[in-house]
Structure 1
């Protein structure tokens, strides 16, 4: 979840005029007392001599034509012939040109070298110094020299009167990359909180960075809070998935269900695991009908495999939703696919509940022959009750006696034995 480092905002106007201010297009902040002296001091201004302006003319023509290699040759000629006669400020402007041209040629190491060289000159205007510091910080980010970038950016912030929110976020990115999560958090929170306090929506990448920082700090509660804002302002499926995952990790199943259902409605749950996860959540929330529909559609779309286990879940969902007629054929299919008899035992129970006693006995026998029944005592109870309803009292009593061997069913089975015996006597008396 590492943040994406922004590319350096270097333009021809900025570098030619040396007037880059470092202001973002968004909100701006006065530098805080820790980073900015409270008193302003006058500083000597510098200018270029007319002859130097003329020297820069050939370079200007090349840059306006986007002939960066030609501009570089002009700069080298100028450095060889005249730079040693320039003032410190004039040399700084030459190094500024070098930095701009090398940047345009995507030779970032050389661009950085010349901007560093510029900053070593004694005579620098405020605009040139500030613009170079910010541009250099950005270039150092591109080169993944995060510590160097942080150093230059903090130097820029200590001198800048007004600081854009983007600068705080950029600094937070730097601290994130070097592993100082507390300073990263402080800076990104400053930018985000200021925007939100003015009823403005922070940029998406600000939230992304803030989320990454709090995730690294292990603060899931805060990450959820940030993701909630992200799905409101930037409702991308990836954020909904992250939010659903965190709700699950923090055992907020109801909220997890809502997030997962949103993804489902967006058409973003595209694999078996995700669809079954949502189906289980609906079962847990006692909404079996939606669970059944999700599994059914998933199977129809060939996303969810029609395995014995998945069919069993579908049958269970239909049964819990009181759609027993839909549950029966699904459970039959699940039982046929199973290597063990437990699903046949469960199917026997469904047949008993729907007064299909012969079928209950038939699948009950299949269950017993196949083996692997988890609760043979319960199967015996079902078989016994089916026999009672068919008037087969001796067979019923035989099954109930099997159930008495398990203490969990013994009392219930004994009651049914008494009932079967009484019914047997009652029916016999009617024949006299």
Structure 2
């Protein structure tokens, strides 16, 4: 127990959580109150039931006065039981809300650090292209070739909701189909989930409570637009005990995704670099704990394979404690190089969430000894489209147009814009 507590404190310290010892002690103290109250409640209910059985016997024996005294005791115990049940419910709710606001404990391999500047580059692949002298960033190219229209999107909806037109729309569709086909070939099972979720689903995968206000919330119906297909797909298995022979579960799904991106500003969010609505193909795995890091490596290799087939230079980063997502135990980001912007753009995050989501979801399996255990959940972008499109447009531009990656041409029906 002490060893587990030290591990949690060390992990939360990596995330930059202030005074994690106090936070964990608060959890333990509240849990002890819950346990003590539960024991008292069980004992009170047991006493009440035993006395209730005595009343009938005493009445049959003609001992009415004694029976009345027992009735009074039973009534007092029932009142105490009601009070204890209310206290128990309060402690359980307080503990649940406290735990909801504690992020996942990072894997031991996660480096310390405060921001994305402290992430570790662990692999680089591909040659950064040299562009011609008049090369342009993608936000100029899309206007020149009239393939993505931000002004029209702003008119119809608002900033961050572009229209894709003509060959721009066909390039989007080509990428989606390519990513889905590659996932199917890798053994993933395709689902097309809803793009709106209820509150229980947001809580189940850790998006709620939404501390940063990044989710779009339809308050009248209390539903949320999804930030990623991970949420509805993983929630397919909420409150489930999966048969061991059905593991691993491998799902892939395409959805539009919605993020408010509150507080985003500056040159880094120009054009396709950051949107409120964007398309993404997501891969999900549900695994036995002993297999989950093998699955994590497999998912990372799958994403890297997509980038190599698109002939995009990329690098892999291991995220530090200060930059890793709230629910993740370990995350690798894949970034492609944008030659016109002369910067790296994140296009995928692959995460092992371990039991953080399955604990909330009550997602379990029975091992060989028939003991019920929590499963591990994993998710990854394979891939998010906007920055992939930006990199394709910028890196493949020539003085005579934009060359489409060869692997996409059977999907686009054209080889140049």
Q: TM-score range by the shorter chain?
A: under 0.3
Q: Which of structures 1 and 2 has the larger relative contact order (alpha carbons within 8 angstroms, sep 6+)?
A: 2
Structure with the larger helix share: 1
Q: Greater CA radius of gyration, 1 or 2?
A: 1
TM-score (norm 1): 0.23
Structure with the larger strand share: 2
